[in-house]
Structure formats: structure tokens, C-alpha cells
Structure 1
Amino acid sequence: MTAETRDAMLRRFVRETFGLRGTLGLHRAAFGLDLVRAPVNVVLAPIFLLVKLLGLIARLCRAPRLAGWLLSRRIVFETAVSRKVAARVRGLVAELDAAGVGPGAPEATVARAVEDYVGVRNAVAEITTVLFVLITGWALFHSATLGVISLAGPVADMRAQALAIENYWAGQWLGQVYFGWFPRALDPWQVVATGVALAMLASLVTTFAGVVADPVQRWLGIHRRRLTRLMARLDRQADSASGLSREHAVARLGDLTDIALALWRALRP
């Protein structure tokens, strides 16, 4: 009966918090400083991954104090949306405890587990952005663009061609013919500027990606299963940092692959 009551309360929480109306309410908090924090977090994300990997290596090398310190570092800035999600999840834990079906974990343990939970949800938002970039690259250029780096070159080239055709001295029609045979040379600064602009745009997409990702995850049952794992962790009174989740790894996989491909193209003869 206890398990059934807890499960019913988790389902109700997911429905109210991560349904379309609930997630729209959460993302109202994003209009403000989150629009500044988002691009900064994009820059800090690779550092976050590196610190997590170093923590896991330290754990494998049986250096628990160093591993615990590294894995507990908060690299990215906490957003207002993340604070709202964390507050609601902590409220859920308190509600479960009050109903006699909660884990009864210490406050510090709950805080650590909820922080990891919110971090995984943020990683899913980044995965949603990666999918958006991938679909955009395939729709526009019929190629797999795993990140902003691989998308920047084709977008910069398309923009440069369009401007050259528009400003051609003999008119746009002849400009299309001329630049179709003799494509305009692309300056490196144009690719860099385009990449920066796309990165800023991607950070905004990530900020509001939960509006789409939350209802989809609710429909697939992912939010409920993730909360069930959270409660199981609190039942065990597990206070240690959880390490690198698969969501964080997948979120960074596109960027790392994108960087590796860019280096390979640049270094090959």
C-alpha cells in the first residue's frame, strides 16, 4: 500500500509539474537573468564534463576524498527554472514524508540528490537542442550537423552567397549565375562570427527546450521513472555524488564528436 500511495503521488506530481501547463509555468521564470546565464553555461559545459570525468578517474584510482570533491563541484550557474524545479521536488519529498511514504532522508542528502536530479533534467534540455541542430542541418544542407561547429560553416557560406548575389553589380539574376559558377570565398572571421551567433541561439533554445522535452518525457514515463530512482537513492540514504549520468554524457557527445571532426578536417593533408 505504501508503494502504491507513493507511486500515485509521483504520478500526480509529474502530471502537474511537467505537463504542458506545468512546464509553461516553470519556464516563465526563464525571462530574466536566465537569458544571460544560458550562454555562459554553454561555455562552461565542457569544463563541467572534464571535472566529472576527473572525479570518476579519481574514484577508480581509489582517491575517495578527491573524487568526492571533484564530483561535488558546481561548475555551471543555477538558473531560475532549475531553482523552481528543485523547490518543487524538495516539496514533493516533504509531502511524501508527511504522508508517511517518504524516504525520511536528512536535508543535506535530499539537497544533494535533488541537485543531481535537476542537473540531469538540464542535460536532457541540451540533448533536445542537439536534436534541433541535427534536424536543422539535415533539412537545410542534407548533412548530419552534430553541433554548432559543423553547422557554422554551411550557414556562413549560405549567408555570404546570399549577400554576394543580392549586391552583385549586374543584378541578382546574373549574380546567381556568376556565383553559381564561382562561389564566393569565405573569410575565417565569418565562420567564427556565425558560430558565436549560433551558439547564442542554441543557448536560448536550451533555455526553453523543456517546454517540448518535459511533456514528451511525461508521456514516455521518463519523468516518473527518474523520480522513482531519486526516491530509491534517498531510501538508501545515499549522500555521495552520483558521478556522470548517461544524460550528461550524451549531451556532450555531440559537441565532442563535432570538435573531433573539425580537428580532423583541419589537420588532414
Structure 2
Amino acid sequence: MDTSHTDAAQAVKHKVDAFVRRHFYPRGAFDLHRAAIGWDLLRAPVNVLLAPVFLLMALVALLARLAKLKRFGAWLLGRRLFLKTSVAQRLEAEIAQDLLQGAPLTERSRKLIDDYTAVRSAVAEITTSLIVLLTGYALFGTPTPGIASLAPTVSTYVGHASAVTGFPLGSWLGGIWYGIFPVSMPVSFVVLTGVILAMIASLITTFAGLLADPVQAVLGIHRRRLMKLLDRLALTQGDTAGLAPEHILARVADLSDAGMSLLRYFRG
């Protein structure tokens, strides 16, 4: 049995565990997300908009591989689509310093770390979708997996409350009146509500790691991802990390949101 290899593997595990404790438990997560105060408030929502494009490119790359077009698939997977946030830059620097012992990063290693940080962004989106879903269910008794399904519900609630409050004969009679004759909301008001909610959701996504990182740290998810990252970085060549399931899960929420919105529309 090669004890030196076993000792080296244990040392790497201890180093990763220390990294996770330092950066992803509550105090470390708070310190990490201090970097988000600034331009990340604009970068994060742009990355959310680019995420479906990234998924489409990754799926096309996988199809290209199946069609024996490996160069084209590798070229697609090698594109840097997302804007690099300050949080991602901070995390990249910490990985290079703590886990890679300050070794200079190659183009390939930077791409692998970009893939790793992109997965964290996808988890932030999933966390935001869960928050929106639970908020809709708690406040309105209906599941709302995204802004498209939440906006009509919120605008209807706000419009009804405003109409009842402003009813000429008092809010009590207003509640009865508008219970019989529902308030008709203009499309512009629904759209404006959606825009406001989308801005709030983008802000939540920017700081969703404050909740998601500690949970993933406790569950050992961060440890597994970092160990996989180090395994890939140890290789001298090879493909990038590919399409992580977190990206697909993030888009499932979008598709569910669109489906519920269409269902509501056709039901009138």
C-alpha cells in the first residue's frame, strides 16, 4: 500500500475541508459576499439573463460531440459567456492561493474554475426560485416558481387592495363590491409589477449564497465540487467540466414558470 499517496490524498481533503469552513459557513459566506456590494448588483441580473443562452450552447455542444464534431463542441464549451462577478473573482483568487498554493493559472485552469463558479451562480438562481415559490404559496396559497407567474398574482392583489381602500362608500362595502365585480388590471401594470419583482429577484440572487453556501457546506456539496475541481485541475489536458445538473435544474424552474403562466393565460 502506497502510504505516501494516501497521506497526500488526506492532506488534500483536510485542505479542502478547511477551505469550505473558511469561506462557505455563515461568517465566511458573509465575508465573501461583501464583494458583491457594487457592480455585482448589475452583473448578477445580466448573468441570469445569459443563463438560458449558456444552457442552449452547452446542449448544442453535447449534440456536436454525439455527431463526432468534437472540435466544434469543445469550441462552444470554451466560450466565456457570463460576466465575471467580484464574488467569483474573489473565490478564484482564494482557490489559487489556498488550494493551488499560489500556482499561476493557465487558460484551461481558469476555464475550469469559471465552470465551478458558474455552478454556484446556478445554485443561487435555484435558491431564488425556491424563495419565490414559497413566497407565492405562503402569501397567496398558490405555487409561483418564477416572476412570470408571481407578477399577475401580486398585481391583482395590489390592484384589488387599492380599489377596496379607495372605494367611495368605504373599504367594507368596497370589499363586497370588488368581491362580486373583480378589478380589471391593465397589462401595463402587470408588466411594471413584473419588472419591479425581477429587480428584487436579481438582488436576492446576488446574495442568495448567504443562505445556499452554508447549507451546501453542511451537506458536503461544496467539498465534493472542490474535490472534483482539483481532480480536473490535476490533469494536464482534457475537456472542461461540461454541463452540470445545477444548470438544468435552474432552467427547469424557468420552464415551470412559463408553463404555469401559459396555463393561467389560456384559462383566462
TM-score, L = length of structure 2: 0.91
Deviation at 1:58, TM superposition (A): 1.4
CA–CA distance in 2 between the matches of 1:165 and 1:122?
Answer: 41
Structure 2 residue aligned with 1:136: 135
CA–CA distance in 1 between the matches of 2:264 and 2:165?
Answer: 31
Deviation at 1:223, TM superposition (A): 0.7
After superposition, where does 1:114-193 map in structure 2 within 5 Å? 114-193=113-192
Deviation at 1:194, TM superposition (A): 1.3
Structure 2 residue aligned with 1:213: 212
Residues 48 and 125, structure 2, Cα contact 8 Å, conserved in 1:
no
Residues 6 and 96, structure 1, Cα contact 8 Å, conserved in 2:
no
User: 3-state DSSP class of the match of 2:182?
Assistant: coil
Change (3 A) 1:268 1:181: closer
Structure 1 residue aligned with 2:23: 17
User: 3-state DSSP class of the match of 1:90?
Assistant: helix
Deviation at 1:238, TM superposition (A): 4.3
Deviation at 1:38, TM superposition (A): 2.1
CA–CA distance in 2 between the matches of 1:22 and 1:240?
Answer: 31
The structure 1 residue matched to 2:94, chosen from 84, 88, 94, is 88
Deviation at 1:136, TM superposition (A): 0.5
CA–CA distance in 2 between the matches of 1:11 and 1:96?
Answer: 18
Partner AA of 1:228 in structure 2: M
Identity of aligned residues (%): 45
TM-score, L = length of structure 1: 0.91
Residues 109 and 237, structure 1, Cα contact 8 Å, conserved in 2:
no
Residues 134 and 145, structure 1, Cα contact 8 Å, conserved in 2:
yes
CA–CA distance in 1 between the matches of 2:246 and 2:19?
Answer: 22
Residues 15 and 99, structure 2, Cα contact 8 Å, conserved in 1:
no
Structure 1 residue aligned with 2:3: none
User: 3-state DSSP class of the match of 2:184?
Assistant: coil
User: 3-state DSSP class of the match of 2:100?
Assistant: helix
Residues 149 and 259, structure 1, Cα contact 8 Å, conserved in 2:
yes
Change (3 A) 1:267 1:238: farther
Deviation at 1:95, TM superposition (A): 2.1
Change (3 A) 1:181 1:264: closer
Structure 2 residue aligned with 1:59: 65
Where structure 1 has 5 or more consecutive residues not aligned to the other structure, the ranges are 98-104
Structure 2 residue aligned with 1:111: 110
How many residues matched?
262
Worse overlay, 54-63 or 215-224: 54-63
Q: Residues 124-182 of structure 1: CA distance to partner in whole angstroms, max 9, x if unpaired?
A: 11111011011101101222211111111111100110111121111212111111121
Structure 2 residue aligned with 1:30: 36
Deviation at 1:112, TM superposition (A): 1.7
Structure 1 residue aligned with 2:75: 69
Structure 2 residue aligned with 1:194: 193
Residues 96 and 102, structure 2, Cα contact 8 Å, conserved in 1:
no
Where structure 2 has 5 or more consecutive residues not aligned to the other structure, the ranges are 1-6
After superposition, where does 1:239-258 map in structure 2 within 5 Å? 239-258=238-257
CA–CA distance in 2 between the matches of 1:264 and 1:170?
Answer: 36
Provide the alpha-carbon RMSD of the alignment. Answer: 1.9
CA–CA distance in 1 between the matches of 2:47 and 2:112?
Answer: 21
CA–CA distance in 1 between the matches of 2:195 and 2:49?
Answer: 11
User: 3-state DSSP class of the match of 2:143?
Assistant: coil
